Structure 1
Amino acid sequence: MLESLRLPDAVISPPLLLAPMAGVTHSAFRRLLADFGGYGALFTEMLSASAFLHESPEQSPFSKRRPCEGAVIYQFRTSGEENLEAVLEKMAGLDFTAIDLNLGCPAPKIQCQASGAALFRDFDRLRGVLTRIRRCYQGALTVKVRLGDDPENWRGPFLERLRLFEDAGVQAITVHPRFSGEKLKRRARWSEFPWLAAQTSLPIIGNGDICSPRDVEANAALFAPLAGIMLGRIVAVKPWIFRDFAGLPKVEVDHAEVWERLYRYTLEDMPQDRAYGRMKEFSFYFAKNFFFGHEMFKRIQGARDVEGVRAAALGFLEGKPQLSSSERLNFT
C-alpha cells in the first residue's frame, strides 16, 4: 500500500479513510475521531442530493465540518433527477477535500430511489450523471462501488464501468468487494483486490470487514496493490483504531469517558430527539467492546429519552465491564 493517496489539490496521508455510514458518521462522531487522529480523511454520511439543497451546511449535522477534522470527503447519492448543478454550486462555498458518488449502497429503499447500486447498474444513466458533474465541477471526484449484481459474470460489466470512470475523470475508486445482493454475513472478497487494481491506473481503496492491522499483515499480498484502506463499523466500536493502523502510540482508553464525550458532542449538534437515535445507533457498535455488551445495548434500548440512554450506558460502563478479546466482530 502506498504511503499517501494523491488527489487534485490534496494528499491524503496516511491513506486511511473513514467509511460513510448512515446514522454514524455525522459531525459529532467525526469530531470524536479528530480527538484521536490517525486517519487521513473522513467521509460524511451518504447525503441526499435533493435534501442537501434545503439544508444549511454550516448547521446541519450531516454536512457541518469542523477544521479539526482535517480532510473531509462529502458523499452524495443521486438518481440523476436532482438539480446536480445547484448541488455543486452550493458545495463550492464549503471547505472539502473531494466529492464522492455513492454507487454501492444495496439498501432496498435507496435502490427504489434509483440511486446507490441501482445507479451503478444503469450504465447510460450513470454516464449521464458523471457527464453532468464534470461539466460544472473540476475538483477531486471519487466513487464507492460494490462488485455488481451477478457473482458469475460480474467482471465484464465492472470493467465497462472502470473505463467509464477513467474517461469521466474520476480520481479514485473505493471498492467494497461484495455483490449488491449480499449482506454482511458473507465475508468481503479481499482476494479480488489484486485483480481490481491491475485493471486500472486509478487508485483503488479497499473496504469491507477490515477490523485490525493484523488483517492487512496476514493478507499482505492481497492488500499490497491498494492505494488506501477504508475502515467502517469497526471505527464505531473503537473510535481510536486508526491510531493502530497508522502505527501511532496507543492511548489509554476510558470507555465511559469516550461514550459520554460523544454524547455531549452529539447534543451540541443535534436536537434531543435526533440525538436519541444517533446515540442508540453508536451504542450498538460500542457495546461490542465487551463480553456482555449485549446487556448494555439491551438497557439502552429500553430508554425513552437521551437522559435515559445516558443513564443506561454509564450505569453499565462505569462498572468496568470485561473487555472482549475478539477482533472478528459480528455486525449483523
Structure 2
Amino acid sequence: MKPPAIRFCFALAAMVVLTLGGCRAIGRFGESRQSIAARSLSGKGFQAIHEGRWELAESLFTDALEVSKSDDRAHWGLAEAYWKRGEKELAVQQMEQAVRLSAGDPKFVERLGRMYLDVGRAADADANSLLALQSKRDSPEAWRLRGDCLHAAGKNEEALAAYHRALALQPDYSEVQIKAAEIYLTDKRYDRLLATLDRLQDGVGIEAAPAKVDMLQGIAMRQLGRSDEALRCFVRASAKNPDDAAPHLEIAALALEGGEIEVARDSLASATRLGTMSYDQGQRILQLQDVQQRMASEPRPSSTPGVQLR
C-alpha cells in the first residue's frame, strides 16, 4: 500500500473512533439528563410528602418513573404514597424495585423489611432485618426492625437485646422505648417498664409523650397497687386520644376495684359510645358490665375508699 493510501486509512479509522466515542458520550449525556430530571421530580415528590400533599407526591413520583424507570428514589417515594393510601401490595412491589435498583441500600432494605412485617410476611421481614444489619450494624432502625421481628416470633429476651442495641445507638428512640416497655409488661417487670418510660417522658415531656405511654404506665401502676397514679395516667391517655375506648375500660376496671360503681358505669358508657373497638375490648366491656351489675345488686358498705377522678 502506498503512503497516501496508508494515511487515508489511518484518517478513516480515526474518524470512526471519534464518531463512536461521540455517540457513546451523547448517550451518556442523554441518560444523565433523564436521571437529573427524574431526581428533580422525586425531590419535589418528597417535598410534597413533607407538606402532607400525598396525591401530588404520588403524581410526581409517577412522572419521575416515566422519565427514568431506574430512579430508585422514585420507586421508594411511590411505595410510601401507595402505603399511605392502603395499597400495601403495590407499595411492597415498588419498594422491592427500590432495593434492587439501589443495590441493597440498607435504608431501603430496612423499610422493605418493615413493610413485609406489617403485611404478615414474617420470614421475608426477618431476612431483611439480617441483611440490613450486615450492611450497617450501627443503624438503630435496623436494630429496631430486628427486635420487632424477634418480638413477633415470641422471642422476647432476644428482642429486648436488639432494642437495647438500638437504644445504645439512639437513646431517645421513643418507638423502641415503647416496644421494650411492652415486653416488660408481658414479663411483669413493672419497675423496668416505669423506668424506661420515665426516661422517654424526660426527653419529650409528659404531655408530648404518646397516649400509649400513659396507658402502659397506668397498667403497671395498677399492678403495683398505685391506684391514684394509675387513674391519672388513664385520664391523661383518654385526653390525648379521645377516640380510644381502652382508657375508659381501664378506668372502669380501676373504679370497680375501688367499689366506685357509678364511676365504672359512666366509664363503660363512654367506651360503648365510641362504637369502634376490637373484639377483645367488646368482650371486656361485657365482663366489666357483668361485674358492675353484680356489685350494684349487692349491699354496699357505708364507707368505701373508692377511686376519685381528678
Same-fold call, TM cutoff 0.5: no
Relative to the length of structure 1, the TM-score reads 0.30
- Larger relative strand fraction: 1
Higher helix share: 2
Name the TM-score, length of structure 2 as normaliser. 0.31
Which has the bigger relative contact order, CA under 8 A and spacing at least 6?
1
